[in-house]
A and B are shown apart, each in its own frame.
Chain A
Amino acid sequence: MNALTPADLEAIARTPVVDPPEWVRVQLDTGGIAAGAELVYGALAAARTERQLSFALLRAGSVGYSFADPVIEVQDAGMPRVLYGRMNAAVASHLIDEHLLAHRLLDDHIIATRQRGTSLDTAVTHVLVRDTSGEGSRTESLQSAFNAELKRQDLGDRVQVVRALDVGIYEQGAVVQLLPGAVTYANIQEADIALIVRESIAGGRVLENLRWQTPDRQKRIVLRHCGEVDPDSLDDYLRRAAGYQALRRALFEFTPEQVIAEMKTAALRGRGGAGFPTALKWQLTRAQPAPQRYVICNGDEGDPGAFMDRSVLESDPHVVLEGMLIAAYAMGASRGYFYIRAEYPKAVERIERAIGQARERGLLGDNILGRGFAFDAKVRLGAGAFVCGEETALIASIEGRRGSPTPRPPYPSVRGLWGMPTAINNVETLASVPPILRHGGAWFAGHGTPTSRGTKVFAVTGKVRNAQLVEVPMGTTLRQIITDVCGGVADGRELKAVQTGGPSGGVIPVQHLDTPVSYETLQELGSIMGSGGMLVMDKTDSMVDVAKFYLRFCVDESCGKCAPCRIGGYQLLQILERISRGRGSASDVAQIRRICLAMQRASLCGLGQTAPNPVLSTLRYFNDEYKAFIEGGPAYVRKISRTAAPAAKSADEARRVPAAGETASGLLAAKS
């Protein structure tokens, strides 16, 4: 295939995207596939052949609604475009009959759009209904009530009432969304139904007093094309996502210094967790005279429960590659590596394909877009070591050594990969670069807080109603993320705390949930931003257990090089084990604090320095729980294992199985 020219890119930019009138797009990311998205895709393809239909079957990554996997999107002529979740092969086949042939939306699978319309200029064709209190038991009666009312007003033929799976509004009673305008009403009473049907559906007037005013908390910059663009197609990225226009702009309208200046204006900080200013990192790397510089994309996302980077790599690989190209241009690097966990085969496959396509079309090579800029990128796999997320360990790993961190200085920007200046940027950081170059640093900096600009992607999981990927502007509060976006705690339980930053972070108790998210505020609370894992816990979760979980993770993942981390983590875990068995003593807490201090101050790298955070933050906010274990002794452990707290119970059970104990905990299961 011919190399792309700047003129080609300009032409593509001017050409609007034309999709076929009817299509079904299946979201095929790892989470979706695990939930059966490929079976859904197969069923759709089979049904299409069988019924000789002509709709296009498209592929995409994930929009981020993990709770509803597998998710598909359907466009049918004359119908509103909708997302369906919790699909399976049978439903998919049924969907074809209903949606594509009978032109009726399917009950119980639709995920309503989060965009809330303000006008009803277009006639209402569909009404999505959902009872958002608790598990939504009244949804069906809501549907009947609407149907009855429509029939009464003689609109039954014109409008279909559909039960939605999710409307993105929670605990606000009965909610309806009028399609296609997406005007949304919440907390509607029975009496309102007639009014809505008369005024809004028949009359096309918006009832402002019922309208759900809360704006969508999300602002999708990094994820903006995830779930939309075909991750396997460069052309799709070029057309649908204005792909490589930012690169074109960087190469033709900016000097490398100006790119860095633009990044400085954007005030983007590293999204891997530490929050180092990206522009400064590039500048330092650029300033180092060297025959070769490297840029590395850190895709070794290792936090348990975090899947932001994987999702971006799987859903929009080219945006990361484009970000890397711009970074390379800015700092004068001629070679780049994607360091990706081997546990992410799909992400690896897609980024490799993206690289191949870019190479084929001259977006990688010796003379990119004819500007004399030479760059090539390759993939290197991680091999199951969380510590390789640390920069120096990551470099050691690429170089084919044990992933043990080395002392800094020298920093990688001075002496990195094979001794050359190297900038290591996280996936999300690089994915933020093309939008910044396209829309300007000032635009990006317009989002967020004064110290933390832009947006941040979080993977919200745990006891949350809707586990999903969320992208919000910095400064959004934790409560807004958890309750407004993700629907709060599942099963009507009470929210207890949120854990951010994974094993390096801490827990934030419910009284601090109104804290706006930024690098600084989270740190003040004893946690960190981290890469974006956010674990929601309810009242049944034992904080001692959660601390133990994260600590065990760090102990498993410690590289073992430096004594404070290697032994400190292990001993800390032993003490926590002791306490949670009711065998702790009053002096244990003091010893925990002493060991934590040694680890924080004397560990060589971030893993050891931050490993005590989950312990210290639970001690800070939930000291009572530790006390209860220590003072209550075995009797307390028996008591709580009889009641609630499944996690605490499991810890107790672990000791009854034969292979358990130290070996079973995996700590000592040395390979032989």
Chain B
Amino acid sequence: MADFTFEVVTQDRTVVLTDVEYVLLPGVDGSFGIMAGHLPIMAALEIGALEFGPLHGKRRKIALGGGFTEMHDNKLTVMAHTAELAEEIDVLRAKQAKSRAEQRLADRQADLDITRAQIALQKALLRLEVADED
């Protein structure tokens, strides 16, 4: 299969820049895949796991903290709030973040920002999931 250029960038660094066959992205209405020769597309991305690599076989994973993607000229760019490759994830920190968020949701103090705590929990769970399968 034909490859295309795939890039994930956050503001402070380029997370990956490589040629791949297939990318699976966490879209707002569920995951969707992109292969070479896709029509120009812009899509909103949710917090979720991103996979890239061969269509069949072992793919690498990224924990994505939401963002935006654009494909044109056979180049797919993901601009993310946060993005970490599975092997970069600090499992210990993610675990701490998870219990902290759970604690906060359980306590339910008056000034609690529930949405924010839920997002924190979601991100922590995602990181653990992505890191785990690596």
Judge: A and B partners, yes or no. no
Q: Tell me the A residues contacting B by CB distance below 8 Å.
A: none
Q: Tell me the B residues contacting A by CB distance below 8 Å.
A: none
